[in-house]
Amino acid sequence: MRNVKRITIPAVLLALAGSLFAGGFFVQLGNPEASPEARKLNAVATVISTGCVEPGATKISATAIGTVNGERREISLKLEPLSTPGMYALTQQWPKQGRWVIRFEATNGTRFASTLATAGPDGVDRDHGKSGNAQFAMADIEAMLRQ
């Protein structure tokens, strides 16, 4: 009987952990050098929705939020659709001067995902972004701008 408990408890915990991650929905940034289409567009990043959703049904928007010469600016960015369903290329559409945070927001049905990434004269920092399943507060964006 004791051996059954040892096996059952870890199995139950593993099954529960799997269900916690099932149905996830994320916005993932990628390297434009990995996509011939994105390279052709001179993209600074690619973005795709991932998780348990139909990628082609996802709508993604992007906004650059930053400060130039002490003035707060917010710029809606255009994402270029690529041939992979749900994948887009982002080109440089904000001024090279200043520090910027790019906010990506995605919806798929009732699901929502968001990712923040810093951007500067050297491009988009795809490796140190912040992701979640709720809208980020302006305080999160401000903190990233100060880094």
pLDDT in tens, the chain (147 residues): 554 444 444 444 444 444 344 468 888 999 999 999 999 999 999 999 888 778 778 899 999 999 888 889 999 999 999 999 889 999 999 998 888 999 999 998 889 999 999 998 778 998 888 988 889 999 999 999 988
Cα dihedral 96, 117, 123, 41 sign = negative
- What pLDDT score was predicted for residue 77? 97
Where are the chain's structural domains? 25-146
What is the reported pTM? 0.80
- What pLDDT score was predicted for residue 122? 75
- What pLDDT score was predicted for residue 12? 43
Q: Look at phi and psi of residue 84 and say left if phi exceeds 0, alpha if psi is from -120 to 50, else beta.
A: beta
Spatial separation of the C-alpha atoms in residues 2 and 17, rounded to whole Å: 23
Under CATH, to which class is 25-146 assigned? mainly beta
- What pLDDT score was predicted for residue 19? 37
